[in-house]
Amino acid sequence: MELYNDILKAITEEITNEDDSVAKPTRVQLRSNLAYDKLARYLDELENKKMILQSPLVITEKGRDFLQDYDRISNFVHEIGIKYLDISPDEMKGGA
């Protein structure tokens, strides 16, 4: 799921930073730090799950919903770590 999140975020960032409303696969690859063959496989999976369209490369409403839900869950997990495990917010961000 984390890879899906990284790829969907990269697509969103590319679309936001470009004048076009489509992302370029090579730039998404660099942002998500994946080998191109692995990215291609994950893009196929995301398209099969109807989270993206590959031609042109855009994120769908379902993909945007996934990103929102993933962020909410991630924030919740961080809050639990801070509250119950006495982990500081800085430690949570650093992955410690």
Using alpha carbons, select from 47, 69, 70, 71 the residue that is nearest to residue 60: 47
Task: Output the average pLDDT for the chain.
Answer: 88
CATH 3.30.479.30 fits 2-94, yes or no: no
Q: What is the mean pLDDT of residues 14-39?
A: 87
More confident: 21 or 2? 2
Q: Is the predicted pLDDT of residue 96 greater than 70, yes or no? A: no
Domain spans, the chain: 2-94
**pLDDT bucket at 51, cuts 50 / 70 / 90:** very high
More confident: 56 or 85? 56
Q: Is the predicted pLDDT of residue 69 greater than 50, yes or no? A: yes
This prediction's pTM:
0.80
